[in-house]
Chain A
């Protein structure tokens, strides 16, 4: 084994040691945050619910029961049936899949776009930075929900289109976070050393600078997931989102716009409304715990 390899492996071990220390500290601080831990448990239960939906659901979510529609909860339909006779509980379970895929999909897209734009702007600076930041300003001054509504209705409302639209519009904050930390870290000696060693720009950015921005991005992504779920449910509620017969928590509430359903058939809209609140709340608590855990300034 030559000396270079040995020193590299020692360096690697040191780095590993430091990183496990840092992650361990974050984990310990996260664990002390009771609401965050509760939120995580609830969120995992919802994930489980979505994954196991085919086994948990008492019947096919789109099967129409010809003898009972708009029926109140009973032994056959624990949460009753909707206006065309579909089992509310089964639809509730399957709808968890829609919400989670919107949350994860949209956030994955916008974190990628935001990281790329922020990293390029921060690393190269100059007119590239100016141009990219103006574009970011443009995207930030869109009245968010209105533009999403228009875009989704132009592209045709569907699950995929919602994920794409939310992903394509959601990146400005991540871009700003990444740009900020790139600008800050660019001045560090070890980055200057990497430049002096002739490393390529992508290598410096991705393996030397970006890992430092990981924590704030993760916090942003967690809150972003909660927002994406709320936005999808609002769109589906307005009829511009996931289209029936596919069940989404939002479109299950659409019927409640009629006063009869609202006042005398609460089983048709209350459960899915509560599911949205529980899902979003648990993710927000998780995000809050993460933010406190990675931010050394805020001790609980």
Chain B
């Protein structure tokens, strides 16, 4: 088992390097000169050249990349071009809100998708099944920003039960209940989008299991239908369902960018948009690196979980 995990990590490392190289090259193709941000408009050519040398922008691209990597290993992600703060610090402040939003969205998605998927599969081709399928398609077909705007319109304007955005009331106590009130709409929007995808996985995975012989045996034993579906069938149907977390994480990361922007949620997604607008390349590079690392890590966890829940999978393969 340990050997298997080690193997997976060894495979993930070059992929992560590839991601950083790709990132670095994109950022260097970017137009606009970051030095302009540091010096005042009246600076002479010589001043600019000095600043450029200070920032290491005259070095060949691979030297700059190695510098960046060295700093990364020391936990230093550079300084923001727009706020001059250390990027590490800027990002660490944003981590909590994004984590909270993504975590609760994932929870909502599972709470919606698993029961709907099970009902849909056990009553295949019934009206409930068709309705669920239609709604799951609707879930993946509505862009997050439109769903977000619709949610704000309905639940913050027409029927003002929730705030329109932000994470805490201005001048409020900033307590847990206040944050939760702000969290509900964005988490629902992000969660239902992901749930749409998930319902179809749960349904097809349940359908596959429901046809198995051992379920007939369980029924023949006289077990109640509720136990047959929710204990015997669900356990085995969960295997493919767990693995789709790995597919959902990149989806969540992307969805979070749009959702955070609409709800002014102070997370990494909002920081991404701000950094793009201010051409803040060190921050963008760091965010992209972290996001890619999170995606790789979730793939790794998925593989490991897969082998835990399904002992038939051979570790040494």
Contacts and interface: CB of A to CB of B under 8 A. Distances in A.
Contacts of B253: 143-146
B199 interface: no
The interface size bin for chain A is: 35 or more
Contacts of A280: 141-143
A284 to B, nearest CB: 5
B138 A146 contact: no
27 contacts: A138-B19, A141-B250, A141-B295, A143-B294, A143-B295, A144-B253, A145-B254, A145-B255, A146-B253, A146-B254, A146-B288, A149-B276, A150-B27, A150-B276, A150-B288, A151-B26, A154-B27, A234-B144, A238-B145, A238-B261, A240-B276, A253-B149, A256-B149, A280-B141, A280-B142, A281-B138, A284-B140
A210 to B, nearest CB: 26
A18 interface: no
A85 to B, nearest CB: 22
Nearest to B284: A150
Q: Which of A142, A153, A230, A285 has the most chain B CB atoms closer than 10 A to its own CB?
A: A142
Contact of B145 (A146, A234, A300): A234
Interface in B256-284: 257-258, 261-262, 272-273, 276, 284
Interface residues of B, number: 50
A226 B158 CA distance: 31
Contact of A262 (B30, B144, B152): B152
Interface in A137-181: 137-138, 141-147, 149-151, 153-156
Interface in A257-300: 257, 259, 262-263, 266, 269, 273, 276-277, 280-281, 284-285, 288, 298, 300
A141 B31 contact: no
B15 interface: yes
A90 interface: no
Interface of A: 35, 134-135, 137-138, 141-147, 149-151, 153-156, 226, 230, 233-234, 237-238, 240, 250, 253, 256-257, 259, 262-263, 266, 269, 273, 276-277, 280-281, 284-285, 288, 298, 300
Interface string B44-80: 0000000000000000000000000000000000000
Interface string B284-315: 10011001101110010000000000000000
A238 B258 contact: yes
Contacts of B276: 149-150, 153, 240
A135 B141 contact: no
A281 B22 contact: no
Nearest to A155: B29
Given A230-B143, A234-B144, A142 B19 contact: yes
B155 interface: no
Given A143-B292, A145-B254, A156-B31, A135 B143 contact: no
B150 A273 contact: yes
Contacts of B254: 143-146
Given A146-B288, A262-B153, A263-B153, A234 B143 contact: yes
Contact of B22 (A138, A257, A266, A288): A138
A269 B262 CA distance: 14
A128 to B, nearest CB: 16
Nearest to B137: A284
A264 B272 CA distance: 30
Given A142-B295, A263-B157, A154 B145 contact: no
